[in-house]
Amino acid sequence: MKFFVDTADTVAIRELADLGMADGVTTNPSLILKSGRNILEVTKEICDIIDGPVSAEVVATEAPAMIAEGLKLAKIAPNIAVKVPLTWDGLTACKALASEGHMVNVTLCFSAAQAILAAKAGATFVSPFLGRLDDINLDGVQLIEDIRTIYDNYDFQTQILAASIRSVNHITDVARIGADVITAPPAVIKAMAAHPLTDKGLDQFLKDWARTGQSIG
């Protein structure tokens, strides 16, 4: 399973990359806004840190303009995955960009039917948004399971990139199902290390160690 970091915060990306916990990065217009940086500059900086796919999203809504924006974004670095929304125009742009050899991440996927279209359009990644489905009382994890089944039935090569991850449980749930990639905020990735029994056990070990009166080295 690959880990992408869902942020445009280069300090956080670097920290996770140094630990081998960032196989790629995803950004979107909201994350660019949050960073307060110019999209071309910050995306270039991210691509200098990360060797794997770095998703940068188009903001045009009609296919010809999406393709033009995608080609401009793809010029930033060879590891750019152009992110397009799962609309008919987005699928048209996906097909065109993929046919020219660019990686494409089809984002804002909320149904298995949409995911089938992304695969047919040659997407490198499809991004089903778990958290936003859960927010409206639908089952995001079930969607990942459905897409996994369908893609395996037909040997679709598009990678399932589980997105809008809000919790550690989301990550373990989609790992069990076999999502190819997760993208999560740095805080959620770091939260995977936390367990109360680890803290309790360590506390006890340190207390007992102090009672031995010993030191190492």
Task: Catalog residues that contact ligand E4P under the rule CB under 6 A.
Answer: 6, 26, 28, 107, 127, 129, 131-132, 163-164, 183
Which of residues 132 and 197 has its CB atom nearest to ligand E4P in the complex?
Answer: 132
* Catalytic residue list contains 83: yes
Residue-by-residue DSSP string for 55-116? EEE----SHHHHHHHHHHHHTS-TTEEEEEESSHHHHHHHHHHHHTT-EEEEEEE-SHHHHH
Location of structure tokens 């489905």? 133
Which of residues 147 and 163 has its CB atom nearest to ligand E4P in the complex?
Answer: 163
Which of residues 50 and 163 has its CB atom nearest to ligand E4P in the complex?
Answer: 163
Instruction: Please state the closest distance from residue 115 (CB atom) to ligand E4P, in A.
Output: 14
Alpha-carbon separation of residue 64 from 60, 68, 81, 93, 120 (angstroms): 9, 6, 18, 7, 19
Location of structure tokens 């033009």? 68
Alpha-carbon dihedral angle through residues 28, 77, 70, 178, given to the nearest 10 degrees = -60
Question: For residues 197 and 182, what is the distance between their CA atoms, to the nearest angstrom?
Answer: 26
Which of residues 107 and 114 has its CB atom nearest to ligand E4P in the complex?
Answer: 107
83, 95, 200, 207: the active-site residue: 83
User: Is the distance from CB of 127 to CB of 105 less than 8 angstroms?
Assistant: yes
Dihedral of alpha carbons 64, 69, 72, 73, sign? negative
Which of residues 191 and 202 has its CB atom nearest to ligand E4P in the complex?
Answer: 191
Q: Annotated catalytic sites, by residue?
A: 83
